[in-house]
Structure 1
Amino acid sequence: MANTKEIKTRIESVKDTRKITNAMYLIASTKLRKARNDLDRTRPYFEALRTEIKRIFRTQNDVDSRYFYPPEGEPPLEGTYACLVITADKGLAGAYNQNVIKEVMHMLDEHPDTKLYVVGEYGRHFFTQHNIPMEHSFLYTAQNPTMQRAREICDILLEGYDRGDFKKIFVIYTDMENSLTSSAHCTRLLPFHRAYFQTDTVEKAVTTPFEFVPSVQAVLNNIMQSYVSGFIYSALIDSFCSEQNARMTAMDSANSNAEKLLAELSLQYNRVRQAAITQEITEVSAGAKAQRQKHRKEA
């Protein structure tokens, strides 16, 4: 059985660990709140873009754009896919990264020639370690999602899409459904279905046709570049929020385990200390008894 000094050392170690987990919980909470605020400030702009895209399709029935399936539906698109993979830069976030990797591996099983565009050190390390080729790795940190970085990712993806290097673009990221749960999603980014921009909102009939300069296709393509950037930015923010939420959950679980361990160690410490005290009392009592017996014999 461990002595009181060893147990006390373990108690101090657990207390130090608890301080670290509490600090990490608070940091993750602050980052989560800031990221949500950033997304809330930019969301109205991209909602307005979606409304304008809807109006274009409402007023122009014969719009032809490389970013959309034709009006008659989704044709079979054979060819290479591109996939933007968003992971974290480090662990300590429960199953956050593993769930994203599972979605990626599932896609690679179905489409082995998929080109991977990776955000996050965890994903880069995993694919490198398993000899899975990456088409492009964005070396900036996943801890600071910005609109500028979303535009850079968008430009690279659209450049390959416009050249015809791949027929579809997917995004695998983690969406925080609520404050308690989040899940990894594989979402097709391009091409869009026209029905994606349809809403139940009743609008007034258009009496005066809109004029598009230089053409409706050019206007739509220009808007779509901004919209895709916004979609990617939203995915980066959602993933970052999900990561911080997962990290908060992991730190809260670690803190609860530390509290439980402290209670067990404190109980063990008290038992060992009491046993030591009892042993000392027994030894003193036995010594006093031996002395009394010795005095009686001498008398």
Structure 2
Amino acid sequence: MPSLKEVKNRITSTISTQQITKAMKMVSAAKLRRAQDRITQMRPFAQKLNAILQNLSAAQTDGENWYNEQRPANKILLVAISSDRGLCGSFNSNVFKTVNRVIEEKYATQFNNGNVTVLSIGKKTADYFGKRKCNLIGDYTLLFSSLSYDNVSHAADFIMQAFRDGKFDRVELVYNEFKNVATQILRVEQFLPIVPPTNQIDAASQIDYIFQPEQDTILSGLIPKSLKVQLYKAVLDSNAAEHGARMTAMDKATDNAGELLKQLRLTYNRTRQAAITKEILEIVGGAEALKSS
């Protein structure tokens, strides 16, 4: 049985941990509200712009459709969006597992040939895949420290230019989509080349589009902007999902600390009672020894 001092030290340590987890839960709750408002406002715009993007990509054009160029998937770029910090449950590990699963199921041959590259948005992804000698590209590990559309646009420009230069034949996003505080949905989405609408390709090819201004001007301006918005939406989704996951994890940690405190206090009282009983027995035994002498 542990000593009273040991149990008391564990109680003090657990109380301190409980206070920290409770404070982290409150901070994440405050951040979650702002992040949830941002992604809620962004989603309708991003979804509508994505529909326009798919329709335009399905239309015929005389210009250079580099964003819609279908090439053999020999060189793959996986954009893995995680967090900069831990203590958010399985939020980051789910991203790692999904990236590994995508590589094993879809791009095993390319990976064995060294043609699978990971672009990390979030420090945890860079740390994980860096230790596994995986091909890493880009430096966007601390993007969440100053999250804005402009900063995400730099990452999108880098990805689009790499695809246009032929460095990669396919680009896919792996991220957590925010559903609610307790639920995050892993998403794997093709970023480039643009995926045309599956049930509208034939219809779109028969529509006589009227472009104002000219078609090339619209495509050269709208398509890159739409791709930037899609990446920004994925980052905002991941940011909100991270705070939701951390809030849930800290809430459970606080509850677990409370349960542990109950057990420790019960152990402390039992140990104290046993020590008092032992002292009483020693006193009684000493008194009986004095009487017999």
Q: Given the two structures, how large is their TM-score scaled by the length of structure 2?
A: 0.83
Q: How far does residue 95 in structure 1 lie from its aligned partner after superposition? A: 1.9
Partner of 1:202: none
Give the match's secondary structure for 1:221: helix
* Conserved? CA contact 2:55–2:196, under 8 Å: no
Question: What are the equivalent positions in structure 2 for 1:190-201 lying under 5 Å apart?
Answer: 190-195=192-197
Letter in 2 for 1:83: L
Q: How far does residue 11 in structure 1 lie from its aligned partner after superposition? A: 0.5
Q: How far does residue 129 in structure 1 lie from its aligned partner after superposition? A: 1.6
Deviations along 1:128-156, one digit per CA (max 9) or x if unpaired, are 22221212231434344321122111111
The answer to whether the aligner puts 1:79 opposite 2:74 as a matched pair is yes
Q: Supply the distance in 2 between the matched residues of 1:152 and 1:45 (Cα, whole angstroms).
A: 20
Deviations along 1:36-56, one digit per CA (max 9) or x if unpaired, are 112234344434534654775
Q: Supply the distance in 2 between the matched residues of 1:243 and 1:156 (Cα, whole angstroms).
A: 25
Partner of 2:122: 120
The answer to whether the aligner puts 1:88 opposite 2:83 as a matched pair is yes
Partner of 2:249: 250
Partner of 1:62: 60
- The farther-off stretch of 17-26 and 127-136 is 127-136
- The farther-off stretch of 260-269 and 43-52 is 43-52
Partner of 1:29: 29
Question: What are the equivalent positions in structure 2 for 1:47-196 lying under 5 Å apart?
Answer: 47-50=47-50, 52-53=52-53, 61-63=59-61, 65-68=65-68, 77-109=72-104, 110=107, 111-112=110-111, 113-195=115-197
CA RMSD of aligned residues (A): 2.8
Q: How far does residue 167 in structure 1 lie from its aligned partner after superposition? A: 2.1
Partner of 2:203: none
The 1:184/1:61 distance shift into structure 2, 3 A limit, reads closer
The 1:36/1:92 distance shift into structure 2, 3 A limit, reads same
Q: Supply the distance in 2 between the matched residues of 1:28 and 1:270 (Cα, whole angstroms).
A: 36
Q: How far does residue 183 in structure 1 lie from its aligned partner after superposition? A: 3.4
Q: Supply the distance in 1 between the matched residues of 2:85 and 2:235 (Cα, whole angstroms).
A: 15
The 1:193/1:52 distance shift into structure 2, 3 A limit, reads closer
* Conserved? CA contact 2:117–2:134, under 8 Å: no
The 1:158/1:28 distance shift into structure 2, 3 A limit, reads same
The answer to whether the aligner puts 1:266 opposite 2:265 as a matched pair is yes
Structure 1 gaps of 5+ residues are 70-74, 199-205, 295-299
Letter in 1 for 2:195: H
Identity %: 28
The answer to whether the aligner puts 1:9 opposite 2:9 as a matched pair is yes
Q: How far does residue 120 in structure 1 lie from its aligned partner after superposition? A: 1.5
The 1:268/1:121 distance shift into structure 2, 3 A limit, reads same
Q: How far does residue 266 in structure 1 lie from its aligned partner after superposition? A: 0.7
Letter in 1 for 2:18: R
Tell me which structure has the larger Cα radius of gyration.
1
The 1:196/1:40 distance shift into structure 2, 3 A limit, reads farther
Q: Supply the distance in 2 between the matched residues of 1:128 and 1:138 (Cα, whole angstroms).
A: 14
- The farther-off stretch of 161-170 and 177-186 is 177-186
Aligned length: 278
- The farther-off stretch of 281-290 and 19-28 is 281-290
* Conserved? CA contact 1:88–1:143, under 8 Å: no
Q: Supply the distance in 2 between the matched residues of 1:274 and 1:63 (Cα, whole angstroms).
A: 86
Q: How far does residue 234 in structure 1 lie from its aligned partner after superposition? A: 1.1
Q: Supply the distance in 2 between the matched residues of 1:12 and 1:18 (Cα, whole angstroms).
A: 10
Q: How far does residue 2 in structure 1 lie from its aligned partner after superposition? A: 1.9
- The farther-off stretch of 258-267 and 102-111 is 102-111
Q: How far does residue 257 in structure 1 lie from its aligned partner after superposition? A: 2.0
Q: Supply the distance in 1 between the matched residues of 2:128 and 2:188 (Cα, whole angstroms).
A: 18
